[in-house]
A and B are shown apart, each in its own frame.
Chain A
Amino acid sequence: MQPLSLNGVTIDDSFAEAFDMAATGLVITAPTARWAEIAARTMTGFATSVIACGVEAGIDRELSPDETPDGRPGFRVLMFGFDGKGLEMQIQNRVGQCVLTSPGSACFAGLDGTKKLKLGATLRFFGDGNQISKRLGGTHYWRVPVMDGEFLVEHSTGLSESAIGGGNLLILGRSHAEVLEASEAAVAAASTVADVILPFPGGIVRSGSKVGSKYKALIASTNNAFCPVLRGDPGSELDAETDCVMELVMDGLSFEAIRESMRRGLHAACAFGPEHGILRISAGNYGGNLGRHHFKLRDLI
């Protein structure tokens, strides 16, 4: 069989293994796009991995004033967790500490769904009895008095229980600088797909992990097979040319969205080609038995 390749870059005949997750979305607005972004970035900070952060969160996309409920600039944020209960707690803490506190902000549902998660339903109590309930059409809002005016917040947001977390790409190349440049381009391309976030710093993980550790207390540890400094170990996946590996991780509301995001990321990275140090693309999986969703790289070329 012919080995897979794209623009001279070897594509492993492998797959990314992804998991069912619960997800919700929020729309955060402010008087200016700058302050909407500050609120959105702050509330999605420290939200890279659900295991240690409680949630995986990120900005899905910027919204024009026409697209937001209150006609101001905004950002749509997506949050992925194990279940609705955990997401509800994360909403309460993160919106309460990072959006409610941000100047001029307002917060609305960013996802439809028959199942609802509490949003303003709990945050309204900050008003200490002075909160104002407003129902417009079928939607319930709260107006909470704050020092710069009012925090406007929707009563609830939607819950999706058919979201997927763990789509990924591994970008293997010659040098750190070249792989970082290609990975940044891949993140930019992968982020153009709606309903997908890349929760890691700048969309990139450099510390991919394997399950388990020699230390009993750790449930995950460094991914020996893709660590260039551990070449020579049995099981190393890297050849003599590959001095750097970076990973992109995608969470999305649907299989198709993640697949498209991976496809765009893969093509953007491969566009650099071996002449710019990009040698190979792979994907992370656990043998296929842990996650229900498999994204085969051969389908993305």
Chain B
Amino acid sequence: MAALVFRLRAAPPERLDLSALTPAGLVGLDRAAIAALVVGTTKHAPTVGDLFEVSGDDPGEIVFEGGSDRLDRIGAGLTGSARITVVGDAGLDVGAGMKGGAIRVTGSALHRAGAGMTGGLLTIGGDAGDFTGGTAASGAMAGQAGGIIVVSGRVGDRAGDRMRRGLLVAIAGTGAHAGARMSGGTIVTAELGAEPGTLMKRGTLVAGRHGDLGPTFVPAGRYELPFLRLLARHIATTVPVAAGLIPERALRWRGDMAALGKGEILVAAG
């Protein structure tokens, strides 16, 4: 069996919802049935066949070729051990709510990448937008609750909003309010933007440096925490490119004292 490839013929005329193009959504469908799936989001209702050239037959290995920031919801709710590769950019909600499997985007992604995911691995070669690893929808009680997100570039604002478990790595840096309202999990980055950890209850932000900290974060000492060594080893095996981001010695900021105050920002300390 060869990978199931969706090759974009031209720039999409509208935003597309590609959440049906997962192994669970494609099981039992032949080529014609796949081509007839509606992926458009307006009354024009374009189908897969209208926009993509389809080849291959293995729904466990899906490839989107010719990326676009209008390709929304790729791999949303992905389960099992399926693999999705996007050659180029992805749109909104890539890997949102995914429970397992692996998604790799070679370009950049828009907002809410990996939002609300509970398992699996999401890798983005470029940048990612706001709410990466955050909440999938307004009012959602939890953001990322498991799995690993790795963004090679920068993520936008409020990365890991309401995050409660798992690992979010933004190698180059984050926007403002990373880890806002976080209740668990770990965010690792070279540089946190302004006011990280706004209203975080629990959870850990690890960074080389940071933007302005809110007044409700309290310095709580410099340590060579065994936990950081453990984390460095974990990252060296799971996300080797990020291995250098974990400091041996860190200044611990405790907060947000305006919320529960059991969260922390660990910043490299000399």
Instruction: Identify the interface centre among A69, A136, A152: most chain B CB within 10 Å of its CB.
Output: A136
CA distance A137 to B234 in the complex (A): 7
Instruction: Identify the interface centre among B184, B226, B231, B233: most chain A CB within 10 Å of its CB.
Output: B226
CA distance A81 to B252 in the complex (A): 41
Cβ contact within 8 Å between A143 and B227: yes
Cβ contact within 8 Å between B231 and A135: no
The number of chain A residues with a CB under 8 A from chain B is: 19
Q: What is the minimal beta-carbon distance from A278 to any residue of chain B, in angstroms?
A: 46
A135 and B165 contact, Cβ closer than 8 Å, known pairs A130-B262, A149-B223, A150-B223: yes
Contact with A along B216-255 (1 / 0, CB 8 A): 0000010111110111111001100000000000000000
Cβ contact within 8 Å between A141 and B223: no
At the interface, yes or no: B181 with Cβ under 8 Å from chain A? Answer: no
Question: For B204, what are the chain A residues with a Cβ–Cβ distance below 8 Å?
Answer: 132, 134
At the interface, yes or no: B202 with Cβ under 8 Å from chain A? Answer: yes
Cβ contact within 8 Å between A106 and B184: no
At the interface, yes or no: B132 with Cβ under 8 Å from chain A? Answer: no
Question: For A133, what are the chain B residues with a Cβ–Cβ distance below 8 Å?
Answer: 184
Q: What is the minimal beta-carbon distance from B74 to any residue of chain A, in angstroms?
A: 26
Cross-interface CB contact of B230 among A130, A132, A149, A152, cutoff 8 Å? A152
At the interface, yes or no: B189 with Cβ under 8 Å from chain A? Answer: no
CA distance A69 to B237 in the complex (A): 12
CA distance A227 to B221 in the complex (A): 60
Contact with A along B132-161 (1 / 0, CB 8 A): 000000000000000000000000000000
Cβ contact within 8 Å between A72 and B262: no
CA distance A69 to B204 in the complex (A): 20
At the interface, yes or no: B186 with Cβ under 8 Å from chain A? Answer: yes
Contact with A along B70-83 (1 / 0, CB 8 A): 00000000000000
Q: What is the minimal beta-carbon distance from A53 to any residue of chain B, in angstroms?
A: 29
At the interface, yes or no: A112 with Cβ under 8 Å from chain B? Answer: no
Cβ contact within 8 Å between B226 and A29: yes
At the interface, yes or no: A237 with Cβ under 8 Å from chain B? Answer: no
CA distance A135 to B238 in the complex (A): 14
Cβ contact within 8 Å between B227 and A150: yes
Q: What is the minimal beta-carbon distance from B241 to any residue of chain A, in angstroms?
A: 17
Question: For A202, what are the chain B residues with a Cβ–Cβ distance below 8 Å?
Answer: none
Cβ contact within 8 Å between B226 and A72: yes
At the interface, yes or no: A71 with Cβ under 8 Å from chain B? Answer: yes
Cβ contact within 8 Å between B262 and A134: no
Cβ contact within 8 Å between A106 and B226: yes
Contact with B along A127-167 (1 / 0, CB 8 A): 00010111111000101000001101000000000000000
CA distance A193 to B202 in the complex (A): 44
CA distance A141 to B234 in the complex (A): 13
Instruction: Identify the interface centre among B224, B227, B232: most chain A CB within 10 Å of its CB.
Output: B227
Q: What is the minimal beta-carbon distance from A144 to any residue of chain B, in angstroms?
A: 11
Q: What is the minimal beta-carbon distance from B41 to any residue of chain A, in angstroms?
A: 37
Query: Within residues 26 to 58 of chain A, which ones have a CB less than 8 A from any CB in chain B?
Result: 29, 31
Chain A residues at the B interface, C-beta cutoff of 8 Å: 29, 31, 69-72, 106, 130, 132-137, 141, 143, 149-150, 152
List 13 A-B pairs, Cβ < 8 Å: A106-B226, A132-B204, A132-B262, A134-B227, A136-B167, A137-B237, A137-B238, A141-B227, A149-B225, A150-B225, A150-B226, A150-B227, A152-B230
Nearest first, the 10 A-B pairs at minimum CB distance are A136-B234, A70-B226, A152-B226, A70-B229, A106-B226, A71-B229, A149-B223, A70-B230, A152-B227, A143-B227
